[in-house]
Amino acid sequence: MTVHDKIALTADDLQGDISRHLKLSIGKDASHASLHDWRMALSLALRDRVVEPWFASTRKTYDGKHKRVYYLSMEFLIGRLIEDVTINLQVEDMAVEAMKALGQDYYEVVKEEPDAALGNGGLGRLAACFMDSLATLAIPAYGYGIRYEHGLFEQHFENGQQTETAEGWLAQSHVWEFERPEVAYKIHFGGYVSEENGKANWNPSETVLASAYDTPVVGWQAKWANTLRLWAAKPIKLFDLESFNRGDYVGANAPERLARTISRVLYPDDTTTEGKELRLKQEYFFTSASIKDLLRRHDYEGYDIRDLHDHVAIQLNDTHPAIAGPELIRLLVDKHDFSFDEAIDMARKCLGYTNHTLLPEALEKWPADLFARILPRHYRIIEIIQDRHIAATGSDIRIIEHGNVKMGELAFIMAHSVNGVSALHSDLVKETVFHDLNAAYPNRILNQTNGITPRRWLYSCNPALRGLITDTIGTGWESDLERLTDLNAHLDDASFQEAYRAAKSTNKDRLAAWLQERSDVTLDTSAMFDIQIKRIHEYKRQHLNILETIALWNDIRDNPNGNWTPRVKIFGGKAAPGYALAKSIIRLINDVAATINNDPITREFLQVVYPENYNVSMAEILIPASDLSEQISTAGKEASGTGNMKLSLNGSPTIGTLDGANVEIREHVGAENFFLFGLTAAEATEKRKDHGYSRRAIESSPKLSRVLGQIAGGVFSNGDHHRYSDILHNLYEHDYFLVSCDFDNYFAKQREVDAVYQDVTRWTRMAAANTAGMGWFSSDRTIRGYADDIWGAKSVE
């Protein structure tokens, strides 16, 4: 049976469904329908086809009594859904045909869909890739998160500086979801705890409703579908009629406003903690609703609460849902007569915790008094967890310390398994942040190197390369990505190489056309497209890249007749609104772009572009068009990276440090196909002990000294000597991220890149070897690892 038989679909059917939805669901006549209306109609017609596999999966899980995975994440960065669904259902051609018959361009309609940007970066996108793989592998699973009214802010540049405006994806109806008004839980905050008949009784001061919205997530070829259940906060009482009748119309709406605030905005907070009360409430809100929901399902299916761990695996995506431990214990003790020891033991059997960062400032901590005020019962439970932990292990690691509740320690102690997200990161987790807890609980830490879904990050975003791969090695690689190694036999084949280059140039043309239309910027598509796309952060070192760009510009100006390799440096990414230094880096990039792009001497060799508002949809255009992938973080600081995987898979060799998953990428694609530079993690740690290292490194590098002198001299800031004093001061006096120490090495490696790029055959071989070597980085492999090593969950065949 083909996937089309299974979902009973032909292009005619689809066309009929679209017309029917346009008329009956949207209430529009074809002659008056807008692009938006057509999108709604197409989406609804596609959604119809997801429902059958979705129901079938639910039934099979229920009938087979299969264990379910619950993936708790503050973020799901899913992006657009139309193509995701047409591709998983394998109906893209049909959709194109059906829309054409209706006088519409499918691709225009696709572009009209706003991104569901319910995440900041890697962590949120990883959750979305995991949902795709869980469905593809037919592992019964729920993703649980928050239905933010406003996703990640929109980024604009004003005079080169980042400004932010609210994102509004829910301003129009989100047709992919099903509202579940009957699935709602009361979530409490504040108040006090009393004792009744020896039982604790929480008397909260504030209560909101968590109301469920379900989006089906269909896997490859519609074999299986799971649910993404997002919680929206609503008031328990919609409206204060008493106030209204008194004429207090604003006051009448207060209950609604207060409750809604909880699911109003995504914290625009990549890697630094935000010590806000509202954020703690958000975390408890969605975690509590999710735990209550899975307990209700367990009970509904007639299972004994004492067997919970046989049916339920809960994964914590970072510490944001770490309150799951105390919440589950609370419900087991206060509502189900478990003893504390029994409840702690049960919670631990159900919970796994994934760590995504070593940066101390990113490990969540809450002021103990705030925590105790908002969650008084949980605070007491955490004290008990801590006591039992100390009694059982003799460890002197505490969860509550120096007036803070430390969520990393809580998550670690409450989970049966703690994992890092790349081999290097997991080793560093053992050696650094959780050194002592690792000693207290040996073997608890393991590694699951991140992965990416090849359906979205190759098949969907790169039709040109998809076609070549299938022509060369046949189908099947989409769900068995390691089959890409079959490409190795063709790497030196001239016709394969030519076709590989043709695919890349199609993608570069597509990017150039997009940029021309969007920002009236013209790209030289014969130049190397050198791309750095990720959140802006000191440790990711976009400033290293832009400093190198300035040094290259200097060299070209000094010798305009040299044999230069034309490059377009492309940046994409947002800075957290409160992160001043990251914002300065953005401004510097834009200032440098303005200067360099207007230099007639260097223009044909060097261009810098930075399209505003980088998001998933933009990544889908940039990644396939990339020639060179910049993965230049300070070694030891990037937990894994996943953009590095997407770029390499799409035929873009990496220039990078031995950091995060770069280490494993290099092993898989071959050291000869990777441009390595920079200090190692161990060398970086040593270097920091070497007092005055940055100033010395700068003074011993004529190129870097010249560049920093130009910035200080106002070359890129209209003579303003102070605009970048924050960056300069940091580099000279502190430079924790070792930009100065890695600069010369990076510059030299870039010149090696230039030379290799001119050797077209060699470069093509390298690029294709990257594609061929990246099969292991499919998130299908990652999810199998979690299922086997952590969840004890099985694929339903």
CB-side exposure of 52: number of CA atoms within 13 Å? 15
User: Active-site residue 378, yes or no?
Assistant: no
Residue 464's nearest CA partner among 495, 515, 510 is 510
Q: How far is the CB of 536 from ligand HBZ (least distance, A)?
A: 12
Active-site pick, 234, 348, 646, 765: 646
Q: Pick the catalytic residue: 47, 320, 365, 534?
A: 534
Is 270 or 780 the residue whose CB approaches ligand HBZ more closely? 270
Q: What share of the chain is helix, strand, coil (3-state, %, to 5)?
A: 55, 15, 30
Active site residue 309: no
Closest C-alpha among 263, 5, 270, 256 to residue 121: 270
CB nearer to ligand HBZ: pick between 67 and 537: 537
CA atoms of 618 and 111, how far apart (whole Å): 11
Contact criterion met (CB below 8 Å) for 137 and 795? yes
Phi first, then psi: what are they for 656, rounded to 5°? Answer: -165, 170
Is 28 designated active site? no
For ligand HBZ, give the closer residue by CB, 577 or 714.
577
Nearest-CB residue for ligand HBZ: 122
- Closest approach, Cβ 503 to ligand HBZ, in A, equals 27
Of 136, 227, 287, 642, which one is the catalytic site residue?
Answer: 642
Instruction: Enumerate the β-bridge partners of residue 212.
Output: 180, 231
Smallest distance, ligand HBZ to C-beta of residue 545, A: 17
Complex with ligand HBZ: residue 143 or 641, whichever CB lies closer:
641
Residues 148, 533, 218, 287: what is their CA dihedral angle, to the nearest 10 degrees?
-40
Instruction: Say if residue 272 is exposed, middle or buried (CB neighbours under 10 Å; 0-12, 13-18, 19+).
Output: middle
Nearer to ligand HBZ, 230 or 697 (CB): 230
> Any idea which residue has 């393991």 for tokens?
446
Tell me phi and psi for residue 697, to 5 degrees.
-65, -40
CB of 420 to ligand HBZ, least distance (A): 9
What is the smallest separation between the CB atom of 533 and ligand HBZ, expressed in angstroms? 13
Q: Which of 39, 147, 456, 535 is catalytic?
A: 535
Residue 642 bears catalytic tag: yes
Place of tokens 């510097």: 588
Chain residues binding ligand HBZ by CB under 6 A are 120-123, 126, 269-271, 273, 356-357, 362, 421, 450, 638-642, 660
Is 534 catalytic? The answer is yes
- Residues with Cβ within 8 Å of 16's Cβ and at least 6 positions away in sequence, in order, are none
The CB-of-267 to ligand HBZ minimum distance in angstroms stands at: 6
Give the position of tokens 């280490």. 663
Structure tokens at 63: 């009938």
* Residue (53 or 641) nearer to ligand HBZ, CB: 641
Alpha-carbon span 75 to 266, nearest angstrom: 8
Among 49, 150, 356, 765, the active-site one is 356
Beta bridge pairs of residue 84: none
> How far apart are alpha carbons 735 and 724 in whole angstroms?
15
**Nearest to ligand HBZ of 90, 640 (CB atom):** 640
CA Rg value for the chain = 27
Is 273 among the catalytic positions?
A: no
Work out how close the CB of 60 gets to ligand HBZ at its nearest, in angstroms, rounded to a whole number.
30
Catalytic residue among 125, 320, 406, 540: 540
Query: Which two three-digit tokens encode residue 237?
Result: 């009482």
Q: Which sequence positions are flagged as catalytic?
A: 356, 534-535, 540, 642, 646
